[in-house]
Structure 1
Amino acid sequence: MTRDEAETVALTVLGWLAGEEEIMPVFLGASGLDRETLAARATDPDLLVSVLEFVTMDDRWVLSCAGATGLKPEAPMQAHAILSGAARTHWT
């Protein structure tokens, strides 16, 4: 997965999350953001990482997102690894 693909996955997950009436308020409360700030920062890589971290906390959310968006269930975690830098090999 390329960085561009990872960003697309993260934006897809964010779009799904925004439509989830039960889960979205939990994310907003945990992040301290409101909907307006979230919309304004939607392309911020740090925000996208936090969205992916949040959704991947619960397998039910991941599966629901995958079912609704057509993403593979492993895509959010793969995107998180790329956007957070966790996919990089460290030789130290």
Structure 2
Amino acid sequence: MTLNSDAAETLALQALAWLVGNDDLLPVFMGATGVSVDDIKQNATDPEVLGSVLDFLLMDDAWIVACCAALNLPYEQLRQARAALPGGQQVNWT
């Protein structure tokens, strides 16, 4: 199943809301990306920012499982959403 950009943005916003509510993981995200709470608030609907949220979550299987469980999503849906956002196209290195 392929998500369109609107569906991907909606899913990424849900993932961002989950991340913001995660007191343990939010500081890790902020430290890894250099964003502040104000940056998140001001740019929450920016597709590139939403892509970075999904990039971050996709770095760790445990984060994927926790987020998808909380949002009642199949695990592969985060990757599919990332692919539909700017910069998410799969790179073929051959």
Unaligned runs of 5+ in 2: none
Among all aligned residue pairs of Structure 1 and Structure 2, give the percentage whose two residues are the same amino acid.
Answer: 43
1:16 maps to 18
Unaligned runs of 5+ in 1: none
* Aligned-residue RMSD, C-alpha: 1.6
1:56 maps to 58
Deviation at 1:46? Answer: 0.9
Structure 2 matches for 1:60-71, cutoff 5 A?
A: 60-71=62-73
Q: 2:42 aligns with which of 40, 43, 46?
A: 40
Aligned residues: 89
Query: What TM-score comes out, normalization by structure 1 length?
Result: 0.89
CA distance in 1, matches of 2:19, 2:11: 12
Conserved in 1, the CA contact under 8 Å of 2:51 and 2:88? no
Query: What TM-score comes out, normalization by structure 2 length?
Result: 0.88
Structure 1 stretches of 4+ moved >4 Å: none
1:30 maps to 32
